[in-house]
Amino acid sequence: MFGLRKSDSALLLIVIALTVLAPFILNPFPENSVMAQFNAGYPDLMQRLVIFGIFAIGFNILFGLTGYLSFGHAAFLGVGSYAGVWMIKLLTLNVIPAIVVSVIVAGAFSLLVGWISLRRSGIYFSILTLAFAQMSYALAYSVLTPITGGETGLQPKVGDPRILDAALEEGVTPRANLFGMFMNDSYDMVVGGWIFTFNVGYYIAAICMVLAFYLSIRIFRSPFGLMLRAVKSNQQRLNYTGIESKPYTLAAFVISGMYAGLAGGLLVAMDTQAGAERMFWTASGEVVLMTILGGAGTLIGPVLGAGFIKYFENIVSKINANILETWFSFMPDGLSDVFVGIIYPFIGKGWHLTLGILFMLVVIFLPGGLVQGGQKIAGMFKNKKDGSDSATSSASAAPAE
């Protein structure tokens, strides 16, 4: 299908199904039940899940294939965001120019950063990218305030030029749209106690993610992808095989920068504002976590990792002491206090503690990330099945496959 081999087509179909059905999958609990707080099927979170999925897919093209660990990818997301907001301010409230220009500007910026940073490899490369990202952050936060809005960030105003749009009516706040469809428009489907929300912005972002995922499969399976894996495996041999590795690594860097730009542009399309904190080093670190947690170098890993982190970030950080107390209210007073006391540091603002522990567990026990975990579980089932088969039908052993 679409020039993909069978297993890759299956993977693509799974991703399409997951994104299309996300409003159902993420809302498994009825609205008024106790479990409703674990529902993630609201537009804002769903949009973030797929947008950071795009960010991680792009990061994986660089880190997963070439092994070059960039610690500054949030800079491209931030630059893309600013470019997107400016398009919305200057041209039109339609999101298409904003998204396209975000990708182009982020690509150009990553060409510059990559061209300089890729002179070094290993830890020095990581430090160079980190330095660039922190410089970008500092500039956006202070010196470049006229362009970036500094501390307050950048958002469209009623008085912006928007040369392609007709003037807004008096008192109407500017909202981003796609040919008249507003990003926060939603259709709520009520089934029994459940409410499923279908959001315009989410589906636009989801289409972008499916396309981005498809493109990444093509890159993984292409001669270019093979060369990138060769860079990771043995750069010296590659050079002695007549191949110059820099154009390959630079191309991978720019492609992943453009993915970050796309993610930045989509963030702006969904919520028309951009701030410098988007470029802060923790944001760069987060995409590294997503990729490694999901499984670096695998196709679907980054998507899973991004979904996993963004889901738990939103859900776990919403739990507070009151909610905990209602959970443990069935226990005697003293005992419930003990349990609340133990769990309290891991919830709400302590969510990073939970993430850190999860990350450590994954890196130690599943170096291949969630994908490896899935494979292990699948392998266990397979073994069990094979075992029972051979036990029951050893007499009629047919040649396998």
Partner 1 sequence: MGILEVQNVNKSFGGLKALTNVNLNVEEGMIHAIIGPNGAGKSTLLNCFVGRLIPDTGAVTFDGQSLLGKKPHEINQTGVSRVFQTPEIFSDLTVLENVMIPCFAKRDGAYSLNAINSVRNEKDILEKAEQMLVDVNMADKRDMVASSMSRGDKRRLEMAMCLSQDPKLLLLDEPTAGMARADTNNTIELLAEIQEKRHITMVVIEHDMHVVFSLAQKISVLAQGTVIVEDLPDKIKGHPKVQEAYLGGAH
Q: Which is nearer to partner 1, 120 or 218 (CB)?
A: 218
Q: By CB under 8 A, tell whether 22 contacts partner 1.
A: no
Q: Which is nearer to partner 1, 87 or 228 (CB)?
A: 228
Q: Which is nearer to partner 1, 214 or 344 (CB)?
A: 214
The identity of residue 158, as a single letter, is: V
* Residue selected from 122, 193, 247, 341 as contacting partner 1 according to rule CB under 8 A: 247
Compute CA 358 distance to the chain's CA centroid, rounded to the nearest angstrom: 18
Q: By CB under 8 A, tell whether 6 contacts partner 1.
A: no
Q: By CB under 8 A, tell whether 119 contacts partner 1.
A: no
Say if residues 213 and 12 touch (Cβ distance below 8 Å). yes
**What does each C-alpha distance from 158 to 80, 204, 337 come to in angstroms?**
22, 25, 52
Using CA atoms of 87, 90, 96, 99 in order, give the dihedral in degrees to the nearest 10.
Answer: 0
Q: By CB under 8 A, tell whether 244 contacts partner 1.
A: yes
Q: By CB under 8 A, tell whether 292 contacts partner 1.
A: no
Q: By CB under 8 A, tell whether 158 contacts partner 1.
A: no
**Which tokens hold the place of 71?**
């610690």
Q: How far is the CB of 227 from partner 1 (least distance, A)?
A: 7
Q: By CB under 8 A, tell whether 111 contacts partner 1.
A: no
Binding mask 207-236 for partner 1 (x = CB under 8 A): -----------xx-xxxxxxx-xx-xxx-x
DSSP designation for 331: S
Q: By CB under 8 A, tell whether 122 contacts partner 1.
A: no
Q: By CB under 8 A, tell whether 7 contacts partner 1.
A: no
3-state secondary structure of 183: coil
Q: Where are the alpha helices (DSSP H) in 118-199?
A: 122-138, 145-148
Task: Looking at residues 186 to 205 of the shown chain, list those that interact with partner 1 (rule: CB under 8 A).
Answer: none
Give the C-alpha separation, 51 to 77, whole Å: 11
**Which tokens hold the place of 399?**
């040649």
* Residue selected from 32, 241, 322, 392 as contacting partner 1 according to rule CB under 8 A: 241
Q: By CB under 8 A, tell whether 251 contacts partner 1.
A: yes
Q: Max Cα separation, the chain? A: 83
Q: How far is the CB of 299 from partner 1 (least distance, A)?
A: 14
Using CA atoms of 345, 351, 357, 360 in order, give the dihedral in degrees to the nearest 10.
Answer: -160
Q: By CB under 8 A, tell whether 120 contacts partner 1.
A: no
Task: Name every residue whose Cβ is closer than 8 Å to that of residue 318 and which is 6 or more positions away in sequence.
Answer: 37, 348
Q: Which is nearer to partner 1, 29 or 214 (CB)?
A: 214
Q: By CB under 8 A, tell whether 356 contacts partner 1.
A: no
**Which tokens hold the place of 3?**
């020039």
Q: By CB under 8 A, tell whether 3 contacts partner 1.
A: yes
Q: Which is nearer to partner 1, 234 or 383 (CB)?
A: 234
Number of residues that bind partner 1 (CB under 8 A): 30
Contacts 24+ apart (CB under 8 A), 25-30: 26/311, 27/194, 27/195, 27/196, 27/197, 29/194, 30/192, 30/193, 30/194
Candidates 233, 252, 199, 181; CA nearest to 44 is 199
Candidates 70, 17, 75, 77; CA nearest to 52 is 77
Parallel/antiparallel/unpaired status of strands 186-191 and 194-199:
antiparallel
Q: By CB under 8 A, tell whether 10 contacts partner 1.
A: no
Q: How far is the CB of 19 from partner 1 (least distance, A)?
A: 23
End-to-end CA gap in the chain = 24
Q: Which is nearer to partner 1, 3 or 345 (CB)?
A: 3
Which span sits near partner 1 by CB under 8 A: 3-11, 51-59, 272-280, 359-367?
3-11
Residues that bind partner 1 (CB under 8 A): 3-5, 218-219, 221-227, 229-230, 232-234, 236-244, 247-248, 251, 255
